[in-house]
Amino acid sequence: MFDFDQYLGFLAFLAILTLGFWLMIFLITFVIPYWIGGALMERFKEKREEKRAKREAAVH
């Protein structure tokens, strides 16, 4: 059915496909939510500091 070279090529294709699949699963489930969550937390901190600065400026 397969020559040895075709068999190795098929195994290489399956390995690359599998690695790509698990990389996408990892990125979608861990990296991207972590990145978005960190950006949102940083934005909330900046807005909180901005409000605090305005409040202190109004008091003084």
Contact assessment for residue 27 and residue 19, using Cβ atoms and an 8 Å cutoff: no
In this predicted model, what pLDDT tens digit does every residue of 19-35 receive, in sequence order? 999 999 999 999 999 99
Output the six-digit token pair for 45. Answer: 């901190």
Cα angle vertex 59, ends 57, 60, to 5°? 70
Q: CB under 8 Å to 18, separation ≥6 — which residues?
A: none
In this predicted model, what pLDDT tens digit does every residue of 34-54 receive, in sequence order? 999 999 999 999 999 999 999
The answer on pLDDT for 1 being more than 80 is no
**What is the average pLDDT score of the chain?**
95
Q: From CA 60, how far away is CA 58, in angstroms rounded?
A: 6
Q: From CA 23, how far away is CA 29, in angstroms rounded?
A: 10
Q: What is the mean pLDDT of residues 6-17?
A: 96
